[in-house]
């Protein structure tokens, strides 16, 4: 049990750092998005993300350990890519910039979905239902955000394929 608990705590420290980085990145992503719905989606997820940080702190407390963040290099890289996407987007058509931003956001969500899926499974294995339930709540929020971005991209994809005249080639 001690071994599993250690793995769980390490992974939670990684996620705490990841979420902290997102709290800083999401306002920039919201500002960069042109589509009002996408702008709003990032704003909503920012509020959710702040709640996820609090939820993680609650989990650390339930596990009787200090809420310590451990540098998450993967999220650092994803956020850096996101910033590049924002910078490059300034030279692009609005719809193209938004689609690229959506890709960056979905890569981030998928990383989080992987992370929370794993920690939830470990918590279940440890028989810690309270912790597993809290982590499952965050997992659901990440999955919902991912699906929402997919939905928001559908009209943008239509628009982009018209604008570029892809069918005329």
Question: For binding to Fe ion (CB under 5 A), which residues are involved?
Answer: 49, 52, 112
Q: Which is nearer to Fe ion, 139 or 156 (CB)?
A: 139
CB of 29 to Fe ion, least distance (A): 13
CB of 39 to Fe ion, least distance (A): 18
Q: Which is nearer to Fe ion, 54 or 88 (CB)?
A: 54
**Euclidean distance between CA atoms 137 and 139, whole angstroms:** 5
Which of 116-149 are b and which e, b meaning 16 or more Cβ less than 10 Å from the residue's Cβ?
Answer: bebbbebbeebebeebbebbbebbebbbebbebb
Q: Which is nearer to Fe ion, 21 or 52 (CB)?
A: 52
CB of 169 to Fe ion, least distance (A): 40
Q: Which is nearer to Fe ion, 52 or 85 (CB)?
A: 52
How far is C-alpha 92 from the chain's CA centre?
24
CB of 2 to Fe ion, least distance (A): 28
Contact assessment for residue 81 and residue 125, using Cβ atoms and an 8 Å cutoff: no
Give the position of tokens 């590049």. Answer: 84
């Amino acid at each position: 049990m001690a071994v599993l608990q250690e793995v769980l705590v390490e992974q939670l420290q990684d996620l705490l750092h990841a979420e902290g980085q997102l709290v800083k990145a999401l306002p920039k992503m919201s500002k960069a998005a042109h589509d009002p719905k996408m702008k709003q989606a990032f704003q909503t997820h920012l509020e959710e993300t702040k709640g996820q940080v609090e939820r993680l702190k609650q989990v650390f407390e339930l596990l009787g350990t200090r809420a310590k963040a451990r540098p998450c290099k993967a999220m650092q890289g994803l956020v850096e890519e996101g910033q590049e996407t924002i910078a490059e987007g300034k030279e692009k058509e609005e719809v193209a910039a938004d689609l690229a931003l959506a890709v960056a956001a979905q890569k981030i969500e998928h990383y989080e979905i992987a992370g929370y899926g794993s920690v939830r499974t470990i918590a279940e294995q440890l028989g810690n239902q309270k912790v597993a339930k809290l982590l499952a709540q965050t997992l659901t929020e990440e999955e919902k955000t991912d699906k929402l971005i997919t939905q928001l991209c559908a009209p943008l994809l239509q628009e982009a394929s018209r604008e570029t005249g892809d069918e005329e080639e």
